[in-house]
Amino acid sequence: MKPLWPHTPIAAPADRHTIRSLQAYLIYFLYWTVQALAFPLLLLYLALRVARNRAYVRHLGERFGFLPQHILPTAPGSIWLHAVSVGEAITAAGLIRRLRTDLPFAPVYVSCSTLAGRAMAEQKLQGLAAAVFYAPLDYRFCVRRILRKLRPSVVVVMETEIWPNLYRDARRSGARLLVVNGRISDKALPRYRRLRWFFRAVLAHPDLIFAQDELAASRYRMLGAERVQDAGNLKYDFDPAATTIAPAVRAWIDKAQPEHVWMAASTMPPATADDPDEDDLVLDAFEELAARFRLQLLILVPRRPERFPEAAAKLEARGIRFRRRSQLPGAEPVDLPAVLLVDTIGELSGLFPLAQCVFMGGTFPNRGGHNILEPAAFGVPVITGPHMENFAEIAADFRAHGAVTTVQEPRNLAREVGAILGDQQASAALGERGRQRSELRCGATARAAEEIRRLYDEALPRPGRFHPFAWLWLGGMAVDRAIKRLGAARPSVPVISIGNLAMGGTGKTPLVLWLCQHLSAAGRNPAVLTRGYRRATADGVVTLKPGDAAGVEQTGEEAQLILRTGHAALAIGADRRAARLDLERKYRPGIYLLDDGFQHWGMRRDLDLVLIDAIDPFRGGVFPHGRLREPFSALRRADAIVITRALPGLRHAGLQREIRRHNAHAPIFLARLEAKLPALPAQARAGAFCGIGQPESFRRTLSDLRVELAFLQIFRDHHHYREEDLEPLAARADFLLTTEKDYLNIPPNLAARLNILAVPVQLVLDEPASLSVLARNCSIQ
């Protein structure tokens, strides 16, 4: 019997993916349309912000993606961490400190959204972050400008920031995207729930969302996020030992000699017409307690800088004796009871150990509360009002274990503060319970750092769009290849080509030196065919046997390094056929190493080794947009692939996956350079310079050697140095460091006079035996 209606076919997975992609595009198209229509209003809003606060105009260009001059374009591999405001900036310090240990080669750039957040980040992250800047507006042209300059491998977004274009374009750039300490507040949840259809498309972009707790994780899942974990709260990892009390504050309090000190931290104004102002509540409590605690000191810390003058005016109107933190040092103590008004930012954490009790603000007005973990970590008893929605799980945990005092009615604040100040034994027990709850849930920072490290290994920052003229370049190369292959020479001994996709700067010379050493030890009599690029003289073909001597102007610096090892004969010349024939007349090589030979079509080879630079594999794309001679698809011709400048502890999984897309069978080796630092003058300023294809590799080498540099000056590749190049650098440092290749391009008397030292390096392979066997066993195919 036939059914009354036909069955609706179930979409195949590929169809569902296509449908979802189309839906996401339409959602984003709607977002872009709304943005375009709202742009004039945005400009008006920014103008009003500038009119109200002139400080907003400073660095305004950063909001549109124009980073300051001191943030230079970076090689791929940075980390961009977005911390919205003050709390996130403070929390970020511990994570960045961990990243500096786990990924020391990756600079961390921090963006903030608020004036106070940026000021805090610049203070707390000095020496940790490579730079601090304002987050760009969530317009594509703003976000992409930042991504092009920083070229991050990982973008880390802290807490509640959901920016559609940032999420999308970060992933399209090849970076990995991680949300850390994610949460969605009670106040924001209804709005997000109404726009669930929109946020589902946006939340598909993060590789992983580390939520603060299971409640936050469930809210992200409700909005459509699929890759969500309860990873804990980074704020639990607050380290009290890392804080310091400002000497001026300590000295002033020591002179005042209070018997009882309590703090009102991060006090807030009303959120609605029915809410109280917490500064008023705290001052009411202070005055009520004054008769009982005559030697009382209140440390009042308003949450927002614009409230500092308001708080001072209220203190004056009530006739309460007070001092402003900004007046210290120099201000004399006042008679107690009194108030210390903290009208600075960034000092709150360092003040907690001074208090015997902390009232946490933002908890009487309907603002969701603030973080109670920091005062609890010091073992200081904590009091809150009823509103802790932003930290609901933390508050519930503390309340369940008697680790916090919750005051439902503002009029009872004085009573609870007095109870703690008046009973040292009970207050000590309360503070200890809070400290224990704070310590039990540590570990979120370590989990976040480990995930960032994993994503860093998986990331593969990609170049921009394909340049239309690249088709002309590739077409011309295809014609050239077809013509030259017709008459390609077939030497009588095996040929190993060492080449790359990029226009130099992949570390071929160290690999050629390594192969020469191993092939010579195996009795294969290696000979190197090289062009001698940018040598000072153009003497046609130069052939040299092992042990011969020649000047660097005759050989070029790369060939000179090979010659000085004495492991191989050399034939130097642009016409490599003529160079090979001349070498064969004078020397009987057993195997040829064809330097930079992957695109040399005029000679057949038996083993094609292709080098890819781990620092910048794509080099901006195919010429003329970038510096790739051929796209990655050319790797299908490779017999073995060597990832050079591999980073310690990483497998470069993202890069290996891209290689396997084009060549599923060729073995892949990881190689890195190990440097040996020459003897340096004690307590002297070091400068550095180089003229190599990948200067970032030299910077990282010196960083690994823990050399503190005054500067690193970059010249063009294969630069021949003169006095006018180096004398200004020598005037800025006590000695100069450079690479072995660059050192050969410096007149010897000039190097000695200016105290220039070379940093020698050697190649280290992850599987040296396998590559050695592959090379030694190479035979004519």
Active-site positions read 88
Q: What are the counts of helices (DSSP H) followed by strands (DSSP E) for the chain? A: 29, 27
The strand pairing partners of 194, in sequence order, are none
DSSP, residue by residue, 571-593: EE-S-HHHHHHHHHHH---SEEE
**Residues 267, 300: Cα–Cα separation, whole Å:** 8
Q: Are strands 569-572 and 542-544 parallel, antiparallel or unpaired?
A: antiparallel
As a 3-state breakdown, the chain gives helix, strand, coil percent values, each rounded to 5, of: 45, 20, 40
411 alpha-carbon distance from chain centroid:
48
Q: Give the ranges where 223-368 is alpha helix by DSSP (H).
A: 247-256, 278-290, 308-318, 348-351
Q: Are strands 607-613 and 640-644 parallel, antiparallel or unpaired?
A: parallel
8 A C-beta contact, residue 355 and residue 375: yes
Reported residue count of the chain is 781
**Residues 258, 298: Cα–Cα separation, whole Å:** 10
Could you list the beta-strand ranges (E) of 212-366: 228-230, 260-267, 296-302, 322-324, 338-341, 357-360
Residue of 352, 359, 367, 437 whose CA lies nearest to 399: 437
Q: Are strands 668-675 and 761-765 parallel, antiparallel or unpaired?
A: antiparallel
**Residues 704, 629: Cα–Cα separation, whole Å:** 31
- H or E segment at 662? helix 653-662
Residues 133, 136, 137, 138: what is their CA dihedral angle, to the nearest 10 degrees? -140
Region of 525 (left: φ > 0; alpha: ψ -120 to 50; beta: rest) is: left
**Residues 403, 434: Cα–Cα separation, whole Å:** 4
**Coil, strand or helix at 176:** strand
**Coil, strand or helix at 462:** coil
8 A C-beta contact, residue 76 and residue 153: yes
**Residues 161, 82: Cα–Cα separation, whole Å:** 9
